[in-house]
């Protein structure tokens, strides 16, 4: 019984740490996603790399201005957002997080990709990108799936769903 309670305490501690890390990451990413959704796009890049942040030192003020303009033009081309959602999160626990959001724009959907890094005690945005080639992701996924057609489970799935006329 003692061992079970030790495992339970360890699980609760890990869950609490993970929840805290997710809250920290959300504090960095969600304001940017909300700004994009609301059309407040004039300084999205500077939101990702604010003055005083450890990642900002890698950019000059002219770089920040240039990237703010590039992001603004990209978002203007895509039109208004009708919503967004988190699509995927992958991580190396307590070190690196890759987070994809899908934003539904008037013209086409786009992926907003964040890479977050925790060197010491604090998470920071390490990379921020916009990708409007969501259809390419689906095509690559389809190619992979088609390449797996020789796999037994896939062959059985095809047989089960086959409806030749």
Considering the domain architecture, whether residues 120 and 160 belong to the same structural domain is answered as no
Count of structural domains within the chain: 2
Is 6 part of a structural domain of the chain? no
- Residue 146: which domain range? 134-165
Is 128 part of a structural domain of the chain? yes
Is 39 part of a structural domain of the chain? yes
CATH number of domain containing 86: 3.10.450.50
Q: Give residue-wise pLDDT tens across range 16-29.
A: 344 556 899 999 99
**Residue pair 132/110 in contact by the 8 Å Cβ criterion:** yes
**Residue pair 87/111 in contact by the 8 Å Cβ criterion:** yes
Considering the domain architecture, whether residues 138 and 151 belong to the same structural domain is answered as yes
Residues 157, 99: Cα–Cα separation, whole Å? 31
What is the value of pTM for the model shown? 0.74
**Intervals of the chain under pLDDT 50:** 7-18, 164-165
Considering the domain architecture, whether residues 64 and 116 belong to the same structural domain is answered as yes
């Amino acid at each position: 019984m003692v061992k079970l309670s030790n495992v339970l305490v360890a699980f609760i501690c890990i869950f609490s740490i993970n929840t805290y890390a997710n809250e920290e990451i959300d504090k960095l990413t969600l304001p940017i996603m909300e700004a994009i959704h609301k059309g407040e796009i004039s300084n999205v890049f500077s939101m990702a790399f604010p003055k005083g942040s450890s990642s900002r030192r890698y950019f000059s003020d002219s770089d920040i201005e240039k990237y703010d303009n590039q992001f603004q033009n990209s978002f203007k081309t895509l039109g208004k957002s009708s919503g967004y959602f988190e699509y995927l999160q992958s991580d190396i626990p307590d070190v690196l997080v890759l987070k994809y959001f899908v934003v539904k724009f008037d013209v086409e959907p786009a992926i907003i990709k964040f890479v977050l890094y925790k060197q010491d005690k604090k998470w920071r945005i390490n990379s921020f990108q916009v990708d409007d080639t969501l259809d390419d992701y689906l095509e690559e996924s389809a190619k992979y799936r088609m390449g797996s057609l020789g796999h037994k489970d896939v062959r059985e799935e095809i047989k089960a769903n086959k409806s030749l006329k």
